[in-house]
Amino acid sequence: MSEATFTFRVDDALKSQFTQAAKSRDRSGAQLLRDFMREFIQQQQEVAEHDAWFRRQVQAGLDSANAGNLVPAAEVEARFAARRAATRRRSETSE
């Protein structure tokens, strides 16, 4: 693996505090920065994967709705009213 140098400016106080914090964990600042970079990349990949999954789910729902696969609102309301009633009955009998 070839290596490259990453150079950036940082406030002296921040650099000093970061270096001290790294030493307290028996790590160098460079080691911690590499770890932070890897974690950031992993987080961004996870966000991108979730976003892609979510977009696929939304598109599947839109495609299904456009194909006419819909449940009328009154039917949905009736189903959930029945569920709420069943939950209330269970709650009342367990008291």
Domain that holds residue 26: 12-69
Look at residue 5 and give its three-state secondary structure.
coil
Closest-CA residue to 19 (of 5, 8, 33): 33
Measure the CA–CA gap between 61 and 6, rounded to whole angstroms: 45
- Tell me the pTM: 0.67
Q: Residue 74 domain-assigned? A: no
- Domain membership of residue 78 (yes or no) is no
Residue 26 sits at φ, ψ, to 5 deg, of 55, 40
Query: Is 76 contained in some domain?
Result: no
Our count of domains for the chain comes to: 1
pLDDT in tens, the chain (95 residues): 788 998 999 999 999 999 999 999 999 999 999 999 999 999 999 999 999 999 999 999 999 999 999 999 999 999 999 999 999 999 988 77
Q: How distant is the alpha carbon of residue 90 from its chain centre?
A: 35
Domain contains 2: no
Tell me whether residue 53 is in a domain.
Answer: yes
Residue 77 is assigned to a structural domain of this protein: no
Spacing of C-alpha 85 from chain mean position: 35
